[in-house]
Amino acid sequence: MHILTLNCGSSSLKYQLYDWDNREVLAKGIVERVTVGDSFIEHYARGRGTAKREKECPDHKAALELIIETLTDPEIGAISDLNEIKAVGHRVVHGGEKFAQSVIIDDEALDTFRTLADLAPLHNPPNITGIEAAREVMPRIPHCAIMDTAWHQTMPAHAYIYALPYSWYENYGVRRYGFHGTSFLYVAKRAAVLLGRNPFECNLILLHIGNGASANAVRGGISVDTSMGLTPLEGLVMGTRAGDHDPAIGYYVLRKESLAPEEVEQMLNKKSGILGITEIFTDRRDVETAAKEGDRRAELAIEIESYRLKKYIGAYIAALGRVDALVFTAGVGERGPHIREKAVAGLETLGIKLDPRKNELSRTRNAETLISTLDSPAKIFVIPTDEELVMTEDTYALLQGTYKVHTDFSYSFQHPGYRNKERTEALAEELDKNPELAGIIATPAN
């Protein structure tokens, strides 16, 4: 069985095609610059390498048709016919309180996603657009929704209710929801494997650090607090999002510069964060390079981001009491040793001890690594996330009628013998070039 997963952004469409029977990725890629002009697809197919093709995609339906065209291409594709795809899993950023788990999409579910669009105005509308396009192009197969917010539906009321008029929660659903749920679910289950424990006996602090970033406190294997809130704007410093700040600032600047509310919202979401501080960069690699060359704003951006991370780690240590592991994941978390080092500096007395050499070696997406010292009370792991696999497994289970909320469900990757074929093969090549990496690879504890 082949399952296609789609992650639809405002001007992009990311995809992966998975062969369920052989447990391997057949193809993956992304269509960029959808709706904005000069569109192109970057595509990888197992055994055929990578390819890039340019084709205008004025809407997401055209982007999806380009993906299907590429997947079935005799030279660079992965399948011979569209009918080989038996289901599609869609990422949906905001499921509100309505959805505590993944669902098969019907008209009622789609209508609910539309009513939630105001809660994630930058994300849910393109997610919905992608679902509508896919259902139109592939109307005869099931489509499933995997919600970023579902993982966090276990948070207690004292963690998700804001100190605001309670009627705002009752009437408009104003509360903390949290995001990056599929990523957190994956790395939480993998951390339990590496610790050699039942996942529901683990206390974890999870840090998903990419262009979007959030922190997650996990007690007994379930989410009990997270840094993002009603929308993905709250919390950590991000590529273009402000994260935590005095909410009165928006009103203050609105009056000073005679801005419309929509303009302020745009500034906070798309012109703040790392970009706001440096006024140039969003990619942390560019920021690090500039900092090394003496760019004071770049140095400041790193200091601010790292300090915010440290504060959340400290807060979640206090909330959890006992921490079994701290986990870094996503682009910066997986390949940003400088940010990791600064985020945990000085936390030794709280039981988090980083090994600088191990940390420096860990820059891979192909292996799970252990970067704490031997005597660190809490382990520090770097675990490459795999949101697409969570989406694929949820989709398959929904089709089979075996799917349940994660507390009653067992994923393939939460078993010690799990192996990702693609990453295992890539790791072998990586170890040939960097044999020292073998010394920090984390293995399942007995």
Mean pLDDT of the chain: 93
Q: What is the pLDDT of residue 446?
A: 46
Rounded Cα distance between 191 and 199, Å, is 8
Structural class in CATH, domain 181-384: alpha beta
First to last CA, the chain: 33
Residue whose structure tokens are 């909320």: 405
Rounded Cα distance between 354 and 313, Å, is 14
Does 148 participate in catalysis according to the annotation? yes
Q: What is the pLDDT of residue 95?
A: 81
- Give the chain's residues under pLDDT 50: 446
Whether 2-147 and 181-384 share one fold: the answer is yes
Q: What is the residue extent of each domain of the chain?
A: 2-147, 181-384
Structural class in CATH, domain 2-147: alpha beta
Q: What is the pLDDT of residue 256?
A: 94
State the pTM of this model. 0.94
Q: What is the pLDDT of residue 116?
A: 79
Q: How far is CA 220 from CA 178, 193, 199, 328, in A?
A: 18, 14, 7, 19
Q: DSSP H helical segments within 279-386, as ranges?
A: 284-292, 296-320, 330-335, 337-344, 356-361
Q: Which residues fall within 8 angstroms of residue 109, CB to CB, at 6 or more apart?
A: 103, 145
Rounded Cα distance between 181 and 155, Å, is 12
Q: What is the pLDDT of residue 61?
A: 86
**Quick one: 167 exposed, middle or buried, by C-beta within 10 A (0-12, 13-18, 19+)?**
exposed
Calculate the CA dihedral of residues 270, 272, 277, 281 and round it to 10 degrees.
Answer: -20
Q: What is the pLDDT of residue 45?
A: 92
Rounded Cα distance between 5 and 36, Å, is 23
Rounded Cα distance between 305 and 263, Å, is 24
Are 281 and 302 in contact by the 8 Å Cβ rule? The answer is no
Q: Which of 38, 73, 148, 283 is catalytic?
A: 148
